[in-house]
Amino acid sequence: MSAWLRALSLFIVLAVAGCASDPAPSSRNAAREEATFAPWTSEDYRYRIGPGDELSVRFMVNPDLNATVVVGPDGRGIFPLISAQDVAGLTAEEANALLSRAYAAVLRAPQVETLVAGYGASQIYIGGEVRDPGVKTIKGRLTVAQAVMSAGGFQDTARTGHVVVIRQRPGDSRLLMRTIDVRDNLNGKGGDDFAVLPGDLIFVPRSAITEVNRFVRQYVTGVLPFNFNYSINRGTRY
């Protein structure tokens, strides 16, 4: 089972353990032992360069080297003088540092600035109580609320105040999970929201915990390219 999919099963375990009216002690202990989500940091919200992104590379001292570079499917871009550099998975600041080190071999005290000028297509997964669940292709900046709207919006049965976002941290592959309230945002009152990143899983739960089993069976097993088998007790409600 992949780490991303294991996160979804863990969310279900925690939801059952935390919301049952009288959960067994063994269930509570098992949920605590499996709670391996990493804490979110400010870096986890940063956009990271991906294939298809268009980078604007500017040189403060050598403007004749200014260029627009498209990141290829292999994550590398072809840069003037230094050829291919692997920049996928880096923030713009990390790309600046990488390119500065590479250009230091051919230029004296290079000052490089890298900006993401255009975004390539990427995918996220939206499931649960939305009208059109499944894998969605996104391009550019999209908030959680906007991502839900791209899936047709909430069903009437959705818990709009408890939208779950699962993310995998680049590099160490640690899993992150946040539950956010997007009701105020949808009502034009601001509220808790942030940009989704490629590979995010967004899950909109229903008021009844019994419906999580239906979500897994109908959406996850039917849509995702994995073999996922997970069952929970029926009959418990939030």
Residue that the structure tokens 């590099």 belong to:
171
Between residues 229 and 125, which one has the greater pLDDT? 125
Nearest Cα residue to 168 out of 27, 69, 67, 36: 36
Q: What are phi and psi of 49, to 5 degrees?
A: -60, 140
Nearest Cα residue to 89 out of 123, 113, 36, 53: 53
**CA torsion angle for 152, 157, 162, 167 (degrees, to 10)?**
-40
Domains parsed from the chain with CATH numbers: 3-45+121-223 (3.10.560.10), 54-118 (3.30.1950.10)
Q: Which two tokens stand for residue 202?
A: 């967004």
Whole-angstrom Cα distance, residue 3 to residue 216? 16
Rounded to the nearest integer, the mean pLDDT of the chain is: 76
- Which residue(s) pair with 151 in the sheet? none
Residue 217's pLDDT band, with cuts at 50, 70 and 90, is low
Between residues 55 and 208, which one has the greater pLDDT? 55
Whole-angstrom Cα distance, residue 144 to residue 194? 6
Contact status, residue 112 vs residue 57, Cβ threshold 8 Å: yes
Residue 105, CA atoms < 13 Å, CB-side half-sphere: 8
List Cβ neighbours of 228 (8 Å cut-off, separation of 6 or more). 1, 5, 8, 9, 216, 220, 221
In this predicted structure, what is the pLDDT of residue 237? Answer: 29
Q: Give 152-200 pLDDT, tens digit per residue.
A: 999 988 888 888 898 888 777 778 888 888 876 766 666 678 889 988 9
In this predicted structure, what is the pLDDT of residue 97? Answer: 94
Between residues 194 and 18, which one has the greater pLDDT? 194
- Which residue(s) pair with 118 in the sheet? 54
Nearest Cα residue to 164 out of 152, 156, 175, 150: 175
Residue 63's pLDDT band, with cuts at 50, 70 and 90, is very high
Whole-angstrom Cα distance, residue 59 to residue 92? 14
Q: Which two tokens stand for residue 168?
A: 């995998």
In this predicted structure, what is the pLDDT of residue 128? Answer: 87
Cα–Cα separations (whole angstroms), residue 34 to 14, 30, 166, 206: 9, 6, 15, 23
Residue 6's pLDDT band, with cuts at 50, 70 and 90, is low
